[in-house]
Structure 1
Amino acid sequence: MISDAELQTQLEQLQAQHAALQAQYQALQIRQQEHEISANQWLNQRTEELKAEAREQRKAETLQRVFYRIAERAAADLSFYDFLQAVHGLLGELLYAKNCYVCLYDEKKQIKDFPYYVDERDGDALQLSAVPLRRGLTEFVLRTAQPQIIDAERLKRLEASGDVTEGSGDMSFSSWLGVPMQIRGQIGGILAVQGYEPGIAYSPADADILSFVANHVSSAIERYQALDALRNSEARYRTVIENVGVGVVVVQDGRLVFANASVEGVVDHPLDYLLSQPFTAVIHPDDLAMVVERHGMRLRGEPVDSTYDFRVITQTGEVRIIELSAVRIEWAKQDAVLLFLVDTTARREAEQTKRISLQKQIELNDMKTRFISMASHEFRTPLATIHGSVELLLHYEDRMPADKKRQTLQKIDDAVERMTHMLENVLVIGRTGAGQLEFKPRPMAITPFCMGLLDELRSAMTRQYERVSVVIDLPPHEQQFLLDETLIRNIAGNLLSNAIKYSPDGGEVTLRVQVLADQLVMTVRDQGIGIPEADQAHLFESFHRASNVGPIAGTGLGLSIVKDAVTCHLGTISVQSQVGQGSCFTVTLPNPPMSAAHATP
């Protein structure tokens, strides 16, 4: 019988353990909060990065769409003024462009033409031709051959330096942006926008966008000038189309009657092959019906999307995603369809990668939430047990029988053991996630190991163990295998403890280890509650627990640890289970022959 002094000593030791556990718990809470703050900061930063990438992606897509539509307008038989008016409207999708003008410059004659001029204050006053050169803003861009952003302050400096002394029109703008246009290899004009409203301020990014548009407008201007000079000469028309940096084809009567050289690079087929086959020859079979249907609708004048994606198969068998922009035209006095083709495979793959990355971040956040929920629930219960037991001993120790004290102390010890086990599992998962889980195989006799493990479980899970009947089928006692004992303990220990724990109504728990050729097969079978089919796909994910576990305690880490340990052995694990009839886990591990160096004396 334990004396009061011994009980007092044990009580003081337990109180010290309790204080230490409380300190550990507080430290764990602090680390958890720090990890949560760090994870949130990282998640917020990554979210902002993804948003920035999405904005850049939308900006790039808008630029591409505007380019296609400019190309469409350039090929739509519009007058030059109507084309520039369409460009003005498209430009407004990219930056502030309420006021816009195009100036063409004739270096030989030293004059300017303004084929397009829209200004809320100047009106039509500056829509002139053959205007002599002065020292205005337009001439300043022509002289410097660089994009120029000018506000009221800079205008004063330019006027003071003599760079701008003869500005025309209303000069009270808030911000003015002009970029040079390269026409036939030299500066041939400028594209300018300006705003009078307070707060309008163009940026270098706006200058880059306007320069991008100016390049394509320059190409279109070249085309219009060529068409005007040669009275819509087909030869010059073909030259312009050939210089467009996208695939351009004309489809008529089901065949390609025109295709530029760029098409070869887009679909990876020779031009002569494309022109000799039906226009559907390289289209992916799964997209063929859709393309044919939309082509027919366009020819009939029915409403149909002008831009959409379809797939082609290259001559090497590669599948590419093509973005098509189409418009009905007249070709040789017959209806036809003009198509612009761009290979968007790389962009689509990048978008898919981003979506996968975002999904991973969502899964990581979900895992964090489940961990916090698990830790909060699973640590609260044993801590409450310890706290209640210590309170009981503090206030009623002198009135408690010795067996009651021992039961109370045993509760504290069980709670400490439970928390220690949970912490060990969390540490194993952490090492696995950090790539620090080591695989160190050594010769070991599996049968004595399993028998020792069952003895440990019998002591640790006395009440649950007594409810089941354990059946074992093991190799000869002395037979050895190359295994990592720590990882095998994780595998067998977790599977057996789960089989016992989730058999609340008893039944058989079977452990079988078989040697089959070059494989070691471990089977753990129970007759317990089973696993719902919907949960089986997520069974080996960290913190996941089946939906039918009810009040049975657990962290959702055991099977995740088992899976990682099996993977380290280059093995496999499978499960068969039915609700109410039990589960069977089968672990298959390689069983390489042991060399003489491995054999134990």
Structure 2
Amino acid sequence: MSTPEPDLLASLQSQIGALQADNAALRAQLNQQEIQARQWLLRRTTEIQYDAEEQRRAETLQRVFYRIAERATAGLSFYDFLQVVHQLLRELMFADNFYVALHDHDRGLMDYPYYVDEKDGDVMQREGVPCKRGMTEYVLESGKPQLMDAARFQELRHQGLMAEATGDLTFSSWLGVPMQIRGRMGGVLVVQGYTPDVIYDEDDVNILGFFANHVSAAIERYQAIEELRKSEARYRSVIENVGVGVVVVQDGRMVFVNPSMERIVGHSTQALMAMPFTGTIHPDDVPAVVERHQKRLRGEPVEETYSFRIITDQGQIRTLDLSAVLLQWGHRDATLLFVVDATARVEAEQNQKRALQQQIELNDLKSRFITMASHEFRTPLATIHGSVDLLMHYQDRMPADKKRLTLLKIDDAVERMTHMLENVLVIGRSDAGRLQFKPQPSQVSMFCKSLVDELRSAMAEPFSRIRLAMDLPPDSETYLLDETLMRNIVGNLLSNAIKYSPHGGQVMLQVQPRPGELLLRVSDQGIGIPLADQPQLFESFHRASNVGNISGTGLGLSIVREAVQCHGGSISVESATGQGSTFTVILTAPAAPKESAP
């Protein structure tokens, strides 16, 4: 075998080297292409994953924002709506701690209608909080999202921008985003975390900012709906509570009744619409109301407003003022009635008339008092003056018995005036409601006998003309009575019986026990009381027309009546002119418990 030539061998080796170099270059190129293919595949996979994540996030955002818009018009309370907002935000980011702050520009206050926090609880959920230098206000002032951690918070605090921050401040990350409401910074959405694994970033800022845009629009719509609802409620409240009844009458029946009309007449709408429109009107007023109603339907002139009475479901009679106009209801003629409860006004007018009458009576009472005082005080004053004048000029020539008689006249006159003044004071206390009733155990018979002895001394001359008879219970029987008031009752009745028996006759005092009561009867055979005077007999300063020159103030029987009423009793009179009088008093007077023997 022959050996190759050196040149051919070198050529082959050179070709082999070139092929090997090409092969290495091809392998390097292939490796580079494989690396590029893997990088492209990884990048594409990442892009596809990112696109899928973005698609999922977009779908989640779309679903969340749809739910926000839907729940904003679902009729929820504002708190319940914000609670839904909170639940939806949790689907987008960590938001266990979340609150909503709304700025009231007009009042310069902050409202926190929703506040949920694992550290603060809901104690920060308040309204009308004064603005301060805190994190929430800082977001509002800046008008930008603010991402806080402990370091940035301390830095801002050193600058005085967080001087009044409140609540738990141990957060690890805090994010607040402003909300545009009605064209200005109207609120802030805030999330925060307290653990190191909760760290908000720019993606969270974007998410919460995007979320805040939709929430602010929903809050604005919700507030508008709430204001509209409140406005409707206010108008409805005004219509229902203004006190004006509104009724539509058609074909003789009510076809519309507002709630105020229900309250005025005391019948339900169903009941009113089931009866003729005159169903609640007082029977005496029905003809006039029907006549006016028919005139109005015929187009005849009718007074604009008139009054009538109705009977409520409780049987009360009330007075209403009515005004009406014609209108079309369901394309047919009807009458629109406006009804106002005028009962209070009518009662006020009646009270005013009564007050005027009372004033007239008071003036008359004053006149009678002045007349009585000028007449009744003149006689004892004249007696005192004459007696004093007599003593001053003739006492050295008067015998002792004449002096004593003159002094007795003065004493009697003073006693008479004192008695009259005491009666006036008793009446005054009674009118002021200060007449006191203090029952104590009293031996009625002993009391009456003692009082008779006093009258016998005080009224010696008229007493001598009458025959006194008494029918009293045993001295030992004791009853619960007010002896001061009893003195007014028995004393006045007996003194009147004696005084108005100028021609003598018998005066009878009877006291008869009854179960829980005492019957007192005082009768005389005196001048009697005219029938026409008896209705006013117990009024102050009233005196019968036949008393003539018999002195008196007209207060005695008025005092008797007040004292009887304090005892829970009653008084009546039977009398005829010239035939005497009988006064019968029944007092509530239980027997006093007997004291046990020692």
1:571 matches 2:569:
yes
Q: Deviations over 1:242-266 (max 9, x none)?
A: 8996433343432335555654344
Q: Deviations over 1:87-114 (max 9, x none)?
A: xxxxxxxxxxxxxxxxxxxxxxxxxxxx
The one-letter amino acid paired with 1:578 is: A
SS at the partner of 2:510? strand
Which residue of structure 1 aligns with residue 137 of structure 2?
A: none
* Cα distance in 1 for residues equivalent to 2:268 and 2:575: 57
Which residue of structure 1 aligns with residue 284 of structure 2?
A: 286
Offset at residue 345 of structure 1 (A): 2.5
Which residue of structure 2 aligns with residue 311 of structure 1?
A: 309
- 8 Å CA contact 1:443–1:600 kept in 2: the answer is no
Number of matched pairs: 361
- 8 Å CA contact 1:329–1:336 kept in 2: the answer is yes
Q: Deviations over 1:269-319 (max 9, x none)?
A: 333443343221222222212212222333345554231111223344443
Which residue of structure 2 aligns with residue 433 of structure 1?
A: 431
Which residue of structure 2 aligns with residue 210 of structure 1?
A: none
The one-letter amino acid paired with 2:374 is: S
Alignment match of 1:460 (pick from 434, 448, 458): 458
Which residue of structure 2 aligns with residue 450 of structure 1?
A: 448
The one-letter amino acid paired with 1:547 is: S
Which residue of structure 2 aligns with residue 535 of structure 1?
A: 533
* Cα distance in 2 for residues equivalent to 1:429 and 1:473: 30
Alpha-carbon distance change, 386 to 280 in structure 1, aligned in 2, over 3 angstroms: same
Which residue of structure 1 aligns with residue 366 of structure 2?
A: 368
Q: Percent identity among equivalent residues? A: 64
* Cα distance in 2 for residues equivalent to 1:273 and 1:587: 52
Which residue of structure 2 aligns with residue 587 of structure 1?
A: 585
The one-letter amino acid paired with 1:582 is: G
- TM-score normalised by the chain length of structure 2: 0.55
SS at the partner of 1:567? helix
* Cα distance in 1 for residues equivalent to 2:597 and 2:492: 28
* Cα distance in 1 for residues equivalent to 2:456 and 2:585: 23
Alpha-carbon distance change, 365 to 334 in structure 1, aligned in 2, over 3 angstroms: same
Q: How does 1:362-511 map to 2 (within 5 A)?
A: 362-400=360-398, 402-511=400-509
Alpha-carbon distance change, 337 to 500 in structure 1, aligned in 2, over 3 angstroms: same
* Cα distance in 1 for residues equivalent to 2:380 and 2:587: 36
The one-letter amino acid paired with 2:318 is: R
Q: Deviations over 1:410-463 (max 9, x none)?
A: 322221221121122223223333444333333332223222222221221122
Alpha-carbon distance change, 308 to 405 in structure 1, aligned in 2, over 3 angstroms: same
SS at the partner of 1:247? strand
* Cα distance in 1 for residues equivalent to 2:247 and 2:477: 75
Which residue of structure 2 aligns with residue 35 of structure 1?
A: none
Q: How does 1:187-336 map to 2 (within 5 A)?
A: 246-259=244-257, 262-328=260-326, 336=334
- TM-score normalised by the chain length of structure 1: 0.55
The one-letter amino acid paired with 2:421 is: L
Which residue of structure 2 aligns with residue 42 of structure 1?
A: none
* Cα distance in 1 for residues equivalent to 2:400 and 2:341: 83
* Cα distance in 1 for residues equivalent to 2:343 and 2:495: 51
Offset at residue 568 of structure 1 (A): 2.3
Offset at residue 371 of structure 1 (A): 2.6
Q: Deviations over 1:503-554 (max 9, x none)?
A: 1121111111111233211110011111222322222222222222121111
* Cα distance in 1 for residues equivalent to 2:356 and 2:597: 51
Q: How does 1:108-119 map to 2 (within 5 A)?
A: none
The one-letter amino acid paired with 2:425 is: L
RMSD, aligned α-carbons: 3.0
- 8 Å CA contact 1:528–1:582 kept in 2: the answer is yes
* Cα distance in 2 for residues equivalent to 1:478 and 1:276: 71
The structure having more radius of gyration, on CA atoms, is 2
Offset at residue 574 of structure 1 (A): 1.4
Which residue of structure 2 aligns with residue 222 of structure 1?
A: none
SS at the partner of 1:542? coil
Offset at residue 562 of structure 1 (A): 1.5
The one-letter amino acid paired with 2:427 is: I
- 8 Å CA contact 2:254–2:276 kept in 1: the answer is yes
SS at the partner of 1:286? coil
* Cα distance in 2 for residues equivalent to 1:479 and 1:258: 72
The one-letter amino acid paired with 1:558 is: G
Q: How does 1:75-154 map to 2 (within 5 A)?
A: none
Alpha-carbon distance change, 302 to 578 in structure 1, aligned in 2, over 3 angstroms: farther
Q: Deviations over 1:340-391 (max 9, x none)?
A: 2222223333433444444444444443333333222222221111111222
Which residue of structure 2 aligns with residue 189 of structure 1?
A: none
Which residue of structure 2 aligns with residue 143 of structure 1?
A: none
* Cα distance in 2 for residues equivalent to 1:474 and 1:314: 54
* Cα distance in 2 for residues equivalent to 1:567 and 1:262: 44
SS at the partner of 2:503? coil
For structure 2, list consecutive stretches of 5 or more residues without a partner in the other structure. 1-235
- 8 Å CA contact 1:247–1:266 kept in 2: the answer is yes
SS at the partner of 2:536? coil
Which sits farther off after the overlay, 492-501 or 309-318? 309-318
